[in-house]
Amino acid sequence: MKSILIIGTKDGGKSTTITEVCKMLNPTKVYKLNTNQKIIENAQVNDIYNNTFIIEVNGKFILVVAGAPPEQGKPLKDLIEICLEINIKISFLLVSKRTSERKEGFNTIKDLNDFSELIYTERINPIPLVDEKDPNSFKQDVNWKNRITKIHELILSNI
């Protein structure tokens, strides 16, 4: 299994980045991982934000950790183990992480290295607005487009 890690500050754009990458991947199925009941629930690609999802792309399952594990209260290893318990064969991990993890019991990088081959790390900063009146105008910025395209292409070439 291979993985990509998105690192950034609180409200720095990690989840938004992951959401846009997932939209670009055009998954055939999207599920929200209910970690309390250890089940998956049908979802839409637009639901992907600050939580854990499983998407199917080209017949492969990708575990999408759009909210950093400490924010969700579940270490990455637990999220992966839940998938194993419910017989979902994950082929790829797309994981967000805060710049620093201070919460005890959380070590996302160690968990990634224990379960996968980390092929790319993207350290992100918020992208400035192109138009101050439009809160989504950062999506017009070339740096934003390059970020999303690069991650999208890496995932497609590694699943």
Q: Enumerate the domain spans of the chain.
A: 2-158
pLDDT of the chain, 159 residues: tens digit per residue: 999 999 998 877 899 999 999 999 999 999 999 999 999 999 999 999 889 999 999 999 999 999 889 988 999 999 999 999 999 999 999 999 988 888 888 999 999 999 999 999 999 988 878 888 888 888 888 888 999 999 999 999 999
Q: What is the pTM of this model?
A: 0.92
Tokens describing residue 120: 């790319």
Task: Return the pLDDT at 57.
Answer: 98
Cα gap 21→120, rounded to integer Å: 14
Tokens describing residue 126: 């918020």
CB neighbour class for 50 (10 Å; exposed up to 12, middle 13-18, buried from 19) = middle
